Structure 1
Amino acid sequence: MKQNSEVGHYIDMLKTPSVQVILLGTCFVLVMLFVHLGVSQSMDEALYASLQLNTDAPKWVADVLRDITALGSNTVLLFVAVVVVVGLAMHKQRNKAYTFALAVLLGLCIAFALKAGIDRPRPPLSQHNVDVYTQSFPSAHATLSTLVYFYLAYLLCHFSSHRKVNAFTYFAAAFLVFAIGLSRVMLGVHWPSDVLGGWFAGGSVVAICLYIIKWKQKLHISKTEPVQPKEQ
């Protein structure tokens, strides 16, 4: 029983946004360092070669991969973000709306600032199955899809008390984000560590969002609690 309670305690710790920020942020920094120092390059090349779309693969496979990768494009994700922000504002959830809008802007800035700063070359141009115009690390598709779809999953679960429904919602978000990231490698435009770094970067921003939301909730509760009169 004691062992089970300790495991439950650690699981509860992992659910706290502050711990998630530290863990995800640390993982992102490690991946970024490995990429910058060239430590991950040999593993990247091996994984990239094994995941490459074969030249003799049916045309529909490439079409499906392009459709999947489009779900992580800036156009689609910004459209989803605008709809979510407007919906939250209309339902008087302004704190969540502002936080989400700020998170999307932060995610965009982080992704493209790091692309310019690290300036990692893309995989060989001859392997590309879609057009790309920016540097490789981190994958903006992976970063922003993680941010948008996991935050959306959090919002949906916030309005549901069914554990199975919530578990399925998070699983669906994770599956979609994984599929988008995998499609970037299979289409030949990203190294695997680009995608991994994007997942950790997007996850870190989501965790920061949740931390801000909980902090604001605690601040609001402390302000609305009645002050107890001091005993004379």
Structure 2
Amino acid sequence: MPATRFSDLVRGMRDLRIATVPVLLMALLAGGIYTFVAVANDVSENELQRFDNGLLLLFRQPGDVSAPIGPSWVAQSVVEITTLGGYPVLVTLVTAIAGFLLVYRKFGPAIFMVAAIVSGTGVSHLLKIVYDRPRPDIVDHLVATHTASFPSGHATMSAVVYLTLATMIVRLVDDVAVRIYVILMAVLLTFMVGMSRIYLGVHWPSDVIAGWALGTAWACLSWLAVTALRALRARG
């Protein structure tokens, strides 16, 4: 194949990828919003109580709602996993990466990351106040809690933080395998944090599902906003 034809093919694939990403982000955004609204409506009408109760009890010993399934080291491991979605870990992580970006003079990505995460935190807290759903009362809580239940703040913020960081990293590499690995790791961390909240008995499963949906939608919305701003700047 002539060099010119090969370069045209590579350029065409790159243009297709650039055009496809916003479409995928829009699809994820729409799916996340739809899922959150659907779950929120069902929660308000108490239509998910049977599902929530059944899944919570699935993680407890039969006849003893105070004892989680598995040996004691499993429960301790889950407690440590859940901290990956807690504010101390997330704030430390975001601060460290923002500091690195500022030292590296990447002011745009630093501002984007902090703005997306801070605004996502605000929305999560606001929705907790609006819905004011009590924490689960059918099983014992294995860790302390201080806010309302819906949506799960850990599930929401782990999705916002890890997916936002993943989208920043994938822009720095061209290797498809590396990009897939980074995205999968972000999804895996988000999934583990959400499931830990159910295992520990501090969230209804529907809280976690809504948190995942909200966090994913917010990360996609933030990235679409940055993409639009860059397109406007390029035209100007």
Under a length normalisation based on structure 1, what TM-score does the superposition of the two structures give? 0.85
Question: 2:60 and 2:142 mapped to 1: Cα distance?
Answer: 10
| 8 Å Cα contact 2:157-2:215 kept in structure 1 | yes
Measured at CA, do residues 17 and 191 of structure 1 come closer, stay the same or move farther in structure 2, by a change above 3 Å? same
Aligned to 1:51: 59
Under a length normalisation based on structure 2, what TM-score does the superposition of the two structures give? 0.84
Q: Return the letter of the residue paired with 2:26.
A: S
Aligned length: 215
Q: Return the letter of the residue paired with 2:31.
A: L
Measured at CA, do residues 52 and 112 of structure 1 come closer, stay the same or move farther in structure 2, by a change above 3 Å? farther
Question: 1:126 and 1:41 mapped to 2: Cα distance?
Answer: 14
Aligned to 2:141: 128
Long gaps (5+) in structure 2: 1-15, 62-66
> How far apart are 1:112 and its partner, in Å?
1.4
- 3-state DSSP class of the match of 1:161? coil
Aligned to 2:20: 12
1:154 aligns with 2:162: no
Question: 1:35 and 1:89 mapped to 2: Cα distance?
Answer: 42
| 8 Å Cα contact 1:99-1:212 kept in structure 2 | no
Long gaps (5+) in structure 1: 1-7, 224-232
| 8 Å Cα contact 1:147-1:202 kept in structure 2 | yes
Q: Return the letter of the residue paired with 1:162.
A: D
Aligned to 1:105: 118
Aligned to 2:50: 42
Measured at CA, do residues 128 and 169 of structure 1 come closer, stay the same or move farther in structure 2, by a change above 3 Å? same
Aligned to 1:25: 33
Q: Return the letter of the residue paired with 1:43.
A: F
Residue-by-residue CA offset, 1:88-109 (whole Å, 9 max, x unaligned): 2333332222122111111211
1:142 aligns with 2:155: yes
RMSD: 2.2
Deviates more, 1:21-30 or 1:86-95: 86-95
| 8 Å Cα contact 2:128-2:148 kept in structure 1 | yes
Residue-by-residue CA offset, 1:86-131 (whole Å, 9 max, x unaligned): 2223333322221221111112111111111111111127511001
